[in-house]
């Protein structure tokens, strides 16, 4: 591109081109590393999408429908900011040549003009930037409208003085700012600092301040000018990113720990049997993770959990289940899913689901802050109580009792296994989902009666 570009509008979803990838390519060009960029999207409008846009260097993320007047106003602001920046660069070059030839009075006049233009150009961002000026000699302060908006005070009634300004600063940041202001020297070097303010309504905002001192011929500070930028949204985005990173790390460790325990505890009569057992348990874990991901890991609906875990074994009307559609927390959902997998796998090998005539009925309800589940098999092969507990039985008991603090009871009757599971819900916060009574399929083939209510 040969023309100068002040602001770039990028559609996030373009045919055969991803807006984020385009933004990354633009940022790689030296000329456009600092160019203002605004993302526009009609689809990707979640907090993660906005966060990704800001990470790409966007100054704004505009969802569709776009308000034309607002968009034009934003474009005008960044275009004017770009024009003023270019103009100031030219002024700097000219002033360097003229200062050497002109008198001290003209030098001071041009310097004041430059400072004024700098303050005005930097304060043009739509309400998130403000400029201020402090007369070091007389003690007079000057704020523009942007500064008043950032601090949340009325420009007509708020008196700008050191006492009132300090009252709006976060107590933990006052000493650092006071020390920075006291260290201006004859070199008039600028400083930048992040700090917090507490608005009159109690809201805490994050800001970054940049200031520079003006000195006289003797090197004495006579004025301090600066710009304040509200960076609260950036801080919140960073906090969300850190939270997301910690959450992903936590979930990954949990998933790896579960997979490790599955591999370590699984037994098989042969290599093939061992592989099948491990794959089955990993698949059960994957199914419950899919359910949890649909709710952003806020929980899993009981009916979906049971339906998904039984789906691979549902044939005709062999399986039926009914109960309140309660919401389970992730830890409870994962443990219960693994227990259901062990029960249904055992039934498919040795129990009711190993024959076409067999039937499996599952019922559950909430009693005294606990989930009470009944697993009942019938019309299958004759069942005898095992001499010793197998791995599946031990796994169910260990997961329900050790991990959830519940109780698992197995009754090996000749007509079929009856298993009762009791899982505490007080610490889990599980609660019924309100709704009407409805009939749902079990894995697309079975039958489920869902009673939703308190």
Q: What is the pLDDT of residues 78-112, one digit of tens each?
A: 888 888 888 887 888 887 777 676 776 766 777 77
The answer on 206 and 341 residing in a single domain is no
Going by C-alpha positions, the residue among 130, 144, 131 that lies closest to residue 224 is 131
Position 290 scores a pLDDT of 76
d(CA 60, CA 75): 11
- 419 pLDDT above the threshold of 80: yes
- 373 pLDDT above the threshold of 60: yes
d(CA 312, CA 345): 10
Point out the domain boundary residue: 230, 253, 281.
230
- Please indicate, yes or no, if residue 8 is contained in any of the structural domains: no
* Residue matched to tokens 């309504």: 201
The answer on 272 and 191 residing in a single domain is no
- 387 pLDDT above the threshold of 80: no
Point out the domain boundary residue: 177, 208, 230.
230
- Reading phi first (left if > 0) and then psi (alpha if -120 to 50, else beta), residue 299 is in left
Per residue in 206-246, pLDDT tens? 999 888 888 888 778 888 888 898 999 888 888 877 776 66
- Please indicate, yes or no, if residue 293 is contained in any of the structural domains: yes
Position 177 scores a pLDDT of 83
Token pair recorded at residue 235? 């801080």
Per residue in 308-343, pLDDT tens? 888 887 767 889 999 988 888 888 888 888 888 888
Domain of residue 297, residue span = 266-450
CA angle at 358 for the pair 357 and 361, rounded to the nearest 5°? 135
- Please indicate, yes or no, if residue 446 is contained in any of the structural domains: yes
Stretch among 181-185, 248-252, 417-421 having the lowest mean pLDDT? 248-252
CATH number at residue 166: 3.30.450.20
Per residue in 249-263, pLDDT tens? 555 555 555 555 555
- Please indicate, yes or no, if residue 431 is contained in any of the structural domains: yes
Between 259 and 359, the more confident residue is 359
- Please indicate, yes or no, if residue 192 is contained in any of the structural domains: yes
The answer on 159 and 298 residing in a single domain is no
What is the average pLDDT score of the chain?
Answer: 77
The answer on 284 and 213 residing in a single domain is no
- Please indicate, yes or no, if residue 306 is contained in any of the structural domains: yes
The answer on 270 and 217 residing in a single domain is no
379 φ, ψ (degrees, to nearest 5): 60, 20
Structure confidence at residue 432 as a pLDDT band (50, 70, 90) = very low
- Reading phi first (left if > 0) and then psi (alpha if -120 to 50, else beta), residue 189 is in beta
User: Checking DSSP bridges between strand 319-323 and strand 447-450, what pairing results, if any?
Assistant: parallel
- Please indicate, yes or no, if residue 279 is contained in any of the structural domains: yes
The answer on 277 and 218 residing in a single domain is no
The arithmetic mean of pLDDT across residues 8-37, rounded, is 78
Tally the domains of the chain: 2
- 166 pLDDT above the threshold of 70: yes
C-alpha dihedral, 39 to 44 to 45 to 51, nearest 10°:
-70
The answer on 446 and 351 residing in a single domain is yes
130 φ, ψ (degrees, to nearest 5): -145, 155
338 φ, ψ (degrees, to nearest 5): -65, -35
Alpha-carbon distance values, 120 to 74, 79, 107, 138, 142 (Å): 16, 14, 20, 23, 13
Between 286 and 373, the more confident residue is 373
* Residue matched to tokens 């019922």: 363
Q: Starting at the edge strand that comes first in sequence, how are the strands of the sheet with 7-11 ordered?
A: 7-11, 36-41, 60-63
The arithmetic mean of pLDDT across residues 389-401, rounded, is 76
The answer on 428 and 310 residing in a single domain is yes
The answer on 186 and 328 residing in a single domain is no
The arithmetic mean of pLDDT across residues 290-318, rounded, is 79
3-state helix, strand, coil in the chain (%, to 5): 45, 25, 30
- Please indicate, yes or no, if residue 295 is contained in any of the structural domains: yes
Q: How far apart are the first and last CA of the chain?
A: 64
% pLDDT > 70, the chain: 74
CA angle at 283 for the pair 278 and 288, rounded to the nearest 5°? 130
The answer on 435 and 361 residing in a single domain is yes
CATH number at residue 440: 3.30.565.10
The answer on 309 and 446 residing in a single domain is yes
The answer on 298 and 158 residing in a single domain is no
């Amino acid at each position: 591109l040969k023309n100068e570009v002040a602001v770039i509008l990028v559609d996030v979803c373009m045919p055969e081109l991803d807006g984020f990838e385009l933004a990354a390519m633009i940022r790689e060009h030296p000329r456009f590393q600092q160019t203002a960029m605004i993302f526009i999207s009609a689809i990707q409008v979640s907090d993660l999408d906005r966060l990704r846009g800001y990470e790409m260097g966007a100054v704004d993320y505009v969802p569709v429908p776009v308000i034309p007047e607002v968009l034009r106003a934003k474009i005008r602001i960044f275009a004017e900011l770009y024009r003023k920046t270019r103009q100031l660069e030219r002024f700097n070059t000219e002033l360097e040549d003229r200062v050497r030839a002109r008198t001290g009075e003209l030098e001071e006049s041009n310097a004041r003009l430059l400072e004024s233009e700098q303050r005005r150009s930097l304060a043009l961002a739509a309400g998130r930037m403000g400029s201020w000026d402090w007369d070091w000699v007389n003690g007079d302060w000057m704020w523009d409208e942007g500064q008043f908006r950032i601090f949340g005070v009325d420009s007509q009634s708020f008196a700008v003085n050191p006492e009132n300004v300090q009252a709006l600063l976060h107590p933990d940041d006052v000493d650092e700012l006071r020390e920075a202001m006291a260290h201006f020297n004859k070199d008039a070097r600028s400083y930048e600092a992040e700090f917090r303010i507490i608005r009159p309504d109690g809201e805490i905002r994050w800001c970054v301040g940049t200031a520079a001192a003006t000195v006289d011929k003797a090197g004495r500070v006579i004025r301090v000018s600066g710009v304040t930028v509200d960076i609260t949204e950036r801080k919140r985005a960073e906090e969300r990113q850190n939270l997301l990173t910690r959450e992903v790390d936590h979930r990954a460790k949990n998933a790896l720990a579960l997979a490790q325990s599955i591999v370590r505890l699984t037994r098989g009569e042969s290599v093939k049997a061992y592989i099948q057992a491990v794959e089955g348990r990993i698949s059960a874990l994957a199914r419950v993770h899919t359910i949890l991901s649909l709710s952003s890991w806020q929980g899993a609906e009981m009916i979906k959990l049971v339906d998904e875990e039984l789906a691979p074994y549902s044939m005709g009307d062999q399986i039926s289940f009914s109960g309140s559609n309660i919401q389970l927390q992730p830890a409870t959902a994962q443990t219960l899913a693994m227990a259901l997998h062990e029960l249904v796998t055992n039934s498919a090998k040795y129990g009711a689901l190993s024959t076409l005539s067999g039937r499996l009925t599952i019922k559950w309800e909430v009693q005294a802050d606990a989930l009470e589940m009944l697993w009942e098999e019938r019309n299958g092969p004759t069942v005898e109580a095992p001499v010793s507990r197998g791995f599946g039985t031990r796994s169910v008991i260990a997961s329900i009792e050790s991990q959830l603090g519940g109780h698992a009871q197995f009754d090996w009757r000749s007509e079929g296994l009856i298993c009762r599971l009791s899982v505490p819900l007080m610490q889990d916060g599980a609660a019924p989902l309100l709704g009407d009574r409805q009939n749902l399929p079990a894995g697309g083939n079975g039958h489920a009666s869902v009673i939703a209510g308190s």
